[in-house]
Structure 1
Amino acid sequence: MSETPILDAIAADEAAVRDAGQVARDLLTAHSGLPVADVRLYRFHQAAEVHIEVPHPEGVRAWAARLDGRAVYTKDADDTRVYEHWNAEIRMAEVQVRVWHCRLTWPDDEQAAPASAAAAGGAR
């Protein structure tokens, strides 16, 4: 340990992120057939986290099923946008793992979708 608390905190962060990196590598190796768009490592409030972004909601469900987790869907909206979130969270080796996908639409897009599909001659 160093004599400087800030350097001690940096060393603790480095160790936690190193652990998160190992969990991420292990997951990606063991589940190479599952979809992945991006992976990020974080350290929040004394806990390391791995965030795995997937390209579609089905990817969140697939990861959740493989890791014995649960996929959760939420939807938020404001006056101009609709945010659809799919998340699954599990804990592995003292590291929080979050698999997620988010889709951003505009309310007019949701109303226009059936009309566009009908005009194109099929469902969208």
Structure 2
Amino acid sequence: MEEITEGVNSMNISDSHKKNRIQVSNTKKPLFFYVNLAKRYMQQHDEVELSALGMAIATVVTVAEILKNNGLAVEKKVITSSVDMSDESRGRPVQKAKIEITLEKTANFDELMAAAQEEREMRNEEQS
């Protein structure tokens, strides 16, 4: 959990008022880094906004589906758009697809998180 907290603290959040936004990039961060980060944000803010451009869109959709399929989140809003970006290699602007998915935690989110924590603690005791 400590590495998730570090990730939250070091995230570059462009809108200072959007403290519950996760901007997913096409870096080599594991998928479950974003899943765990989204869980953490939902614990703190009751909802999370997942945002991505271009090739990172698939990661955002997968993270949202994992959270929904595990009963942790429900979809509140999905916005798709395109943004103009400058492409230095071609010297002209290009359009990139953009997605923003807002998820809110389910009524039994806290229960499910507590059960998962309990299960982890039991596994750790068995290994000790």
TM-score (norm 2): 0.28
- Asked which structure has the greater RCO (Cα within 8 Å, sep 6+), the reply is 2
TM-score (norm 1): 0.29
Higher helix share: 2
